[in-house]
Chain A
């Protein structure tokens, strides 16, 4: 296991879509190595599509996705899988499979046609379970777990793959807020301890702003802004990306930008004149 990411992932003038429908237009993006990058945007803005293309699940229509400088679809899929892992949005667990066995499936790219299970594989599974705090669930059937536990188990499977780059498609969906924070803390640990490059799609702009080094904002399939959240997250950006007026204040815990939506009701209820003014401006 390397202790710092040496692999690079980039998207170059890529057009991505399904059949005749283009979802992402002319996208150029360089993922900073060893950092946490988060793609945000409104529903259907193409953020998952972009991530799927980066994970080679979707062929780009034009342009390229480059892994270590080479077009990703020119590299054997198995080789890509030793460098780049993915947590899909809706993976399926075979009925009755034990947690440790499911996590063990992550070892696939490290095994040859006839190579048997080795102690290294056991060690990788065990450390993935430990990292996701699911070691005590190892022998339980996945079917019996709660949503939060199951999500951690899937993340453990991606960890067992031991890749330097990890892509996650909405890793916090189906989770309550405590589990969302727990998963993001876990990814931060992983990034800090091993320098794993993380790219994820998140719905929650505030969690994204707090847990991200590099924020990528999309609107209707185009790049609107990218950079450190402190620079990127502004009322103007929130308006452009989500079509919503909001105030941005420093998050009292981390100092990261915190987006406070204004909405049509409640704004100004017993608070400062500035907010009342903001609210009336929104209503006008």
Chain B
């Protein structure tokens, strides 16, 4: 081997390869964004009474269109926005967990964090009679609390992905039994309200919920994007991250807090929409494979999953199903497949 260390290498192959990967990534992201746009338009147009995109556009521009104005502005628009935002939140929050713990099973809906928010909400509804914004705040706080507990329980000279996953699954199972208990104690009306916290649904998505959700995400999403550089250092292992000047424990904790906050905020609005956080990362990984971090693509995939799931649940099945049922049907087989193959490939995101 001849060395050319002291001579600056001409920039060529490396830059070209990097640009090619960047182009591929941009193409996939653009495709996802366009698909999302189509789904958004369909969501706004299609329903019991369908309107043309033009009518919908006129409503959006503030015109009064008989019939359409109420349906689109009051019902469909907040539903679509809520689905879009929680989808992004679940997708991004989930993939942070999966990337950081190097385990596709380490998604907040598998390791009991969503269950924490649900259990708190169900208990509050059935036993304390709490409703409205107080309920949402409680769900967020308890989701973060449960995440902290799982983190603390799995701490042994640092946090190891597999240990955290197992402890999280156990905590989740415990919380599920708490939910079941609370449901047996609940009256019919309360049980109905509590049900939303079990499967996740956009049925109660109206304007009052959209504002706080959007505001929280306007803070959390940019924060996560800024932190993403640390995430890419952590991906290389703690020692390599430290060598690059990232403090692994501090970076991990910061990322977890932001990701949990995203998940909890979204859960507080729609309940835990089954498997969106779990599925978005791996799907995004297949699409943009090897071209960088998955945060943005997973956010887009999450939004697509929620909106398409809701469209299917609302219009394509014999009865109306909450979106969580549809995504659950999608996610469960993938979970099985993952459990069956994970040890063979030992893969991670």
Contact = CB atoms under 8 A, between A and B. Distances in A.
Interface of A: 1, 3, 18-19, 52, 55-57, 76-82, 85-98, 100-102, 104-106, 108-109, 111, 113, 117, 119, 122-123, 125-127, 129-131, 133, 135, 138-139, 141, 157-158, 161, 182, 185-186, 189-190, 193-194
Contacts of A76: 245
B13 A88 contact: no
Given A77-B247, A92-B102, A126 B232 contact: no
Contact of A88 (B17, B18, B99, B239): B239
A106 B285 CA distance: 23
B237 A90 contact: yes
A126 B11 contact: yes
Interface stretch (B1-9, B66-74, B127-135, B163-171): B1-9
B11 A119 contact: yes
Nearest to B7: A127
Contacts of A161: 243-244
A96 B292 contact: no
Contact of B245 (A80, A88, A158): A80
A89 B237 CA distance: 10
A97 B13 contact: no
Contacts of B6: 1, 3, 193-194
13 contacts: A55-B243, A86-B239, A91-B239, A92-B237, A95-B285, A95-B349, A96-B285, A123-B8, A126-B10, A127-B7, A130-B9, A131-B5, A190-B5
B14 interface: yes
Closest 3 CB pairs of A and B: A81-B245, A96-B290, A88-B239
A7 to B, nearest CB: 15
A250 B1 CA distance: 27
B247 to A, nearest CB: 6
Interface in B238-296: 238-240, 242-247, 285, 289-290, 292
Interface string B1-41: 10111111111111101101100000000000000000000
A201 to B, nearest CB: 13
Nearest to A169: B239
A1 B4 CA distance: 13
B233 interface: yes
Contacts of B348: 94-95
A55 B243 CA distance: 7
B347 interface: yes
Contacts of A92: 102, 235-237, 240
Contacts of B13: 126, 135, 138-139
Contact of A123 (B5, B11, B17, B289): B11
B315 interface: no
Given A127-B9, A133-B1, A141-B290, A94 B15 contact: no
B157 interface: yes
Given A56-B242, A81-B245, A95-B347, A108 B17 contact: no
A96 B240 contact: no
A105 B237 contact: no
A143 to B, nearest CB: 9
Interface residues of B, number: 44
Nearest to A161: B244
Given A122-B15, A135-B13, A55 B242 contact: yes
A101 B14 CA distance: 9
B58 interface: no
B27 to A, nearest CB: 16
Contacts of A157: 240
Nearest to B345: A95
Contacts of A55: 239, 242-243
Given A89-B239, A98-B290, A101-B18, A189 B244 contact: no
A105 B236 contact: yes
Contact of B3 (A85, A86, A131, A141): A131
Contacts of B292: 101
B226 interface: yes
B320 interface: no
B229 interface: yes
A124 B59 CA distance: 54
A12 to B, nearest CB: 21
A171 to B, nearest CB: 13
Given A98-B17, A131-B5, 9 more contacts: A57-B242, A82-B245, A86-B239, A86-B240, A98-B21, A100-B17, A113-B229, A126-B14, A127-B4
- Counting chain B CB atoms within 10 Å of each CB, the highest count among A52, A56, A94, A106 belongs to A94
A81 B245 CA distance: 5
Contacts of B5: 127, 131, 189-190, 193-194
